[in-house]
Amino acid sequence: MCGIIGYTGKRQASPIMLSGLKRLEYRGYDSSGMAVIHDGKIDVIKSEGKIKKLEEKTDGGKKPIGTVGIGHTRWATHGVPSDVNSHPHVSRDGDFAIVHNGIIENFAALKSELMRLGYTFKSDTDSEVIAQLLCHLFKGDAVKAIRELLKKIKGSYSIGILCAKTPDRLYAVRKDNPLVIGLGKGENFIASDFAAAIEHTHDFVLLGEGEIAELSADSVRYYDADLNLIEKDSYTVDWDISRAEKSGYPHFMLKEIYEQPKAITDTIRPRIQNGNIDLDGIDFKKSYLDSLIGVDIVGCGSAYHAGIVGKHFIEKHCRLPVNCELASEYIYSDPITGSNRLTVIISQSGETADTLAALRLAKKKGSRTLAIVNVVQSAIAREADDVLYTHAGPEIAVATTKGYTTQVAALYLLGIKLAGILGTEEGKRLSELTTELSLLPEKISEQLKDEYVGSIKTLAKKYSNHHCVFFIGRGTDYAASLEGALKLKEISYVHAEAYAAGELKHGTISLIETGTLTLALVTQSALFHKMESNIQAVSSRHGTVLAVASKANSKISSDADGMICIPECDDDVSPVLTAVVLQLFAYYVAAKRDCDIDQPRNLAKSVTVE
């Protein structure tokens, strides 16, 4: 989704904003722009398309001149991607420039009102109304005008504001959208996330809902909704800048695939002490767990897929019914929940609008909420009753890889912990599972050796011209298929469908014809013979089958056209290793098809609108 960067200090603002905008590219965008105050006037340069075009228009950041500015990457919601719809938007008197993330839901009514008062609009966006409203509300004090603005606009937003009448200042507000203040020495920043400013500072303040920040080079003032000055604590983000750079990899996605051994180690190692699991002190009393009639796991996209893996694991070992739901469905289903259900909310970014809404709804209905989140201090992390950080580090590629596998690892930790308290699984089995979990990073490292990756690359190249691919599996392999199909379609634009293998014969098999590619996941020994029949059903219709199998099931190779074996592991944790194969497969198919792997068309990293 859109990205914001803003700067006030002593340096030329444009190059700082250009590099900040580049760090926000991963969020997904279709145009970009910046506004800078110079000699009491606001200069704006913006462009549809990639930041490269903005870079050309600004002469590599040499213009516009000035030391206070705001920049934006836009992901179109209202109005097509175009120069005129790009942000910043400027008020009719030229005194205000704004950048906005989110949606102003009542923009149409506000726009009509302003048009009746003689205001004209240049763009089709909901955002331009903010600039014109500020112009209308300004009576000499920018902070007061912003407070009046907040009373009028409805929806979700983070907004950066320049006012030509206060040329050394920059203002920011937010509601249901992320925005942080970066504190530098003799300079300060606003940013949609700290990646945009982390090369300049590691000290950040999270702006609260409805608060107003007024930044100058040497100070930041925070106001509450009644314009009382308030104190805010800062926190340090220890993300190393190199972790937000490609470090020699052709794409962030490949880098992040290779970071998985470390990421999963960081998720699990601090929580396993002498074979026992401690979830950062989160206290689950046996009496509480006994009172539960079920668990709801809620997320979107890959986080939802991780949830389905978690459902299988928790149901099997904790004997608790688990319902895994898409957040966008959960929030409008009047979910039957309360204190007798635990709600596990999964989100890499911690800012996904539907998932945040699901968390709030579950809490409102009295359910205890546990968030599995990567981004520290994100909205979901702050609002959940308990939080289990995945510690995956920054994930820049739009398609999640380490974000997903660390979510699965965190769910395994949770499942083992709950089973131990509930006494639903023998101690010996829990120790085996804990050991298997600790061995995952080592096994992924084996998969990332050149020879293994090379064999996947060869198969990916061979099948890269297919237009339709099926992924089939049973049980936890079906859950892993869902993620494999999503990876392939989102980055390579190849149509891919995941099917519970037993469902093929109930309709989809009619699509299998000579050469149709099916990736069959065969890691569940108990279901081997069932998968064998499903694979034969595909082969006998002249479909091509590529099996992803565990060593124990490698005899499936005689029924398949090709096979990739995952390292030996307990069947219960195989989805993590299968995921690595399917991520690499999708990556190399997309690379062969020359796709924009890190920023696939139409997609955004952090989906902060419904």
21 binds ligand F6R (CB under 6 A): no
Nearer to ligand F6R (CB atom), residue 193 or residue 490: 490
Q: Give which of 151, 85, 147 is closest to 121, Cα–Cα.
A: 85
By DSSP bridging, strand 544-549 and strand 517-522 are parallel
Amino acid at 368: R
- Calpha distance 427→419 (Å, rounded): 9
Q: By three-state DSSP, how is residue 577 classified?
A: helix
**At its nearest, how many Å lie between ligand F6R and the CB of residue 399?**
4
Which of these ranges, 150-158, 343-351, 508-516, 576-584, lies near ligand F6R under the rule CB under 6 A? 343-351
- Calpha distance 311→316 (Å, rounded): 8
Residues numbered 484 to 503 that lie near ligand F6R (CB under 6 A) are 486, 490
- List beta partners, residue 594: none
Axis-axis angle for helices 574-592, 427-447 (nearest 10):
20
91, two tokens: 């008020």
E strand intervals along 39-127: 41-48, 68-74, 89-90, 96-104
347 binds ligand F6R (CB under 6 A): yes
Nearer to ligand F6R (CB atom), residue 16 or residue 375: 375
Enumerate the H helices of 74-156 as residue ranges: 107-116, 128-137, 142-152
Which of these ranges, 22-30, 140-148, 345-353, 511-519, lies near ligand F6R under the rule CB under 6 A? 345-353
Nearer to ligand F6R (CB atom), residue 98 or residue 444: 444
177 binds ligand F6R (CB under 6 A): no
399 binds ligand F6R (CB under 6 A): yes
User: Catalytic positions, please?
Assistant: 2, 605
Closest residue to bound ligand F6R by CB: 301
First to last CA, the chain: 11
**At its nearest, how many Å lie between ligand F6R and the CB of residue 407?**
8
**At its nearest, how many Å lie between ligand F6R and the CB of residue 302?**
3
Buried b (16+ CB within 10 A) or exposed e, 114-123: beeeebeeeb
Is-contact 547 520, C-beta < 8 A? yes
Nearer to ligand F6R (CB atom), residue 135 or residue 381: 381
Residues numbered 435 to 494 that lie near ligand F6R (CB under 6 A) are 486, 490
608 binds ligand F6R (CB under 6 A): no
400 binds ligand F6R (CB under 6 A): yes
Place of tokens 């300004």: 138
- Calpha distance 156→101 (Å, rounded): 8
Nearer to ligand F6R (CB atom), residue 179 or residue 320: 179
Nearer to ligand F6R (CB atom), residue 256 or residue 571: 256
Q: Give which of 260, 263, 372, 316 is closest to 571, Cα–Cα.
A: 316
405 binds ligand F6R (CB under 6 A): no
396 binds ligand F6R (CB under 6 A): no
Is-contact 260 444, C-beta < 8 A? yes
Nearer to ligand F6R (CB atom), residue 126 or residue 598: 598
- What letter would DSSP give residue 541? T
What is the pattern of x (binds ligand F6R, CB under 6 A) and - over residues 290-309? ----------xxxx------
349 binds ligand F6R (CB under 6 A): yes
**At its nearest, how many Å lie between ligand F6R and the CB of residue 210?**
24
188 binds ligand F6R (CB under 6 A): no
Nearer to ligand F6R (CB atom), residue 172 or residue 357: 357
- Calpha distance 330→333 (Å, rounded): 5
Is-contact 293 321, C-beta < 8 A? yes
Place of tokens 């064998």: 532
Q: Which of 58, 337, 348, 574 binds ligand F6R (CB under 6 A)?
A: 348
352 binds ligand F6R (CB under 6 A): yes
**At its nearest, how many Å lie between ligand F6R and the CB of residue 379?**
11
**At its nearest, how many Å lie between ligand F6R and the CB of residue 122?**
32
Residues numbered 577 to 606 that lie near ligand F6R (CB under 6 A) are 606
Cα atoms in the Cβ-side hemisphere of radius 13 Å centred on 177: 27
Q: Which residues bind to ligand F6R, rule: CB under 6 A?
A: 300-303, 347-349, 352, 355, 399-400, 486, 490, 606-607
